[in-house]
Every structure is written in structure tokens, then in C-alpha cells.
Amino acid sequence: MGKDVISKEMLSQLYTPSVKAPSKNRNYGRMHRLSNSYYGLGWRVLHYPDDTLIYHGGYVNGYRSEVAVNPKEKIAVCILANAPGELADNGIPLFFSLYESKRDSIRAWEEAQKELYPKTVVLQ
């Protein structure tokens, strides 16, 4: 397996909630009702009743970026757009909603792949 680019300890430090930050961003609530929202070091830490999402987004000179990481599920999504609009506003909530609805079938497919290709190295 390859070496981590950023150590688990450093990620933990970056993602540790530091400052309570009530979210007014309309997009977070589209996924699930937030329990709490905080700032970590450069990241928003969004606590939901059953999960935590690490998020960062921005808008500069017409360009939008959205990045979200679900550490528990080991999945992330990044959207880079050269204009504001529906994709940048709804892409991450839609992605996680679709992922959640298909999670069981994705896991079943992963298990089937392990059986078909047992010597394949899966990087995590």
C-alpha cells in the first residue's frame, strides 16, 4: 500500500471542531437536519444525528468549489465549477443522497469484486 500523503494525526487535527459556527448555508440542510456545525482548521465540521461531514466551499470571481468528506464511509466528492448555479449548489447534497440510497448495493458489489479478484490490492 502507498504511504498517506497527510497523516491520520494531522487530519484529526484539521477536522477537530474548534469554534461553534451555526450554519446559515442553505445547502447543508438538504442532506439531513444538522445537529451542530463547527469550524475546524480551514474546514467546516458538520454533525448530523448519525454522521459527520467535513466540508469546505468557496466562491471567488465567478468560480465555485465544493469539497466534502465523509470519514466514516471513506468517501469524498469535489465539485469545481466556473460559474455559480445548480450544480455547485446541489451537487454535494445530491451525491450523498444518491450514495446513501445505493450504499448497500455498492458494498455488495465491492464484496463480489473481492471474491472475484482476491489478490487485487485495494488502496484505502
Read off the pLDDT of residues 12-59 as tens digits, 9 standing for 90 and up.
Answer: 888 887 777 776 554 555 555 666 776 777 888 887 778 888 888 888
CB 16 within 8 Å of CB 47: no
**Is 80 exceeded by the pLDDT of residue 79?**
yes
CB 15 within 8 A of CB 71: yes
Give CA–CA dist 73/56, Å, rounded.
18
Residue 31: DSSP 8-state: T
Question: Do 23 and 52 contact (CB within 8 A), yes or no?
Answer: no
Q: Which pLDDT band holds residue 68 (cuts at 50, 70, 90)? A: very high
Q: What is the dihedral of CA 23, 94, 109, 103, to 10 degrees?
A: 50
